[in-house]
Amino acid sequence: MPDAIGEPLTRVLLSDQVYARVRGLIIEGSLAPGARLVESEIARQFNVSQAPVREAVRRLVHEGLADHIPRRGSFVAVVSQEDAHHARAVRVAIEELAARTVAAQSSDTPFEALEVQVEAMRQAALQGDVGGFRDADITFHRTVCEISGNPFLPKLWGVMEPNLRALRVVSDPLFTGSWTAMAEDHAELLDALKSADPDRAGGKFAAHARGDDGTTPGH
């Protein structure tokens, strides 16, 4: 666990603050996949009791960024190549169907929610905020499922999302491309949805989920 944690925590919403700090360390790679999250050590470094740390770790497990193994403890999530392959195959199917459904809708589709996330990705890219980019990216794709009108797509995405977050813990630190270009890739995905061409939209989203459009697989 890195010693340089930052300013002392306030007494307000300690679990939220611990969660944000540890999540940041995972996202930036200071806590590598497989690293053990020792609650007593984290509590000591943050100068808090173990209760808020325990709650923060539970949230990280729920989010998919950590795994809890009974009688062993909690660890930063590790994703095998086989798991990544299976998760990507399911994601391609979900995203292609969601995109086709949205593109076939009437002109009153609430695209503004997607525009907000594209702009958030642009800003995160400018600031070098990988965590913020990841959150906006995942929210963008979740929103596509939500506005599709198919109630099963958001449920399926909800099952997938923890695995996608864990995948990105591994893939994002290795990404050597342009985050700005990645944000513009999402602007192109949005344009495909607005085209009212289900084939174009479905093809673009499927290629994006596979990584065939030149982006890092899993993004």
Sorted by where each starts, the structural domains of the chain and their CATH numbers stand as: 14-76 (1.10.10.10), 81-210 (1.20.120.530)
Per 3-state DSSP, what percentage of the chain is helix, strand, and coil (rounded to 5)? Answer: 65, 5, 30
Is the overall model pTM greater than 0.75, yes or no?
no
The edge-to-edge listing of strands for the beta sheet with 73-76 is 36-37, 73-76, 66-69
| Res 173: pLDDT | 56
Strand partners for 67: 75
| Res 122: pLDDT | 97
The phi and psi torsions of 211 (rounded to 5 degrees) equal 90, 10
The ranges of the chain with pLDDT < 70 are: 1-12, 168-174, 213-219
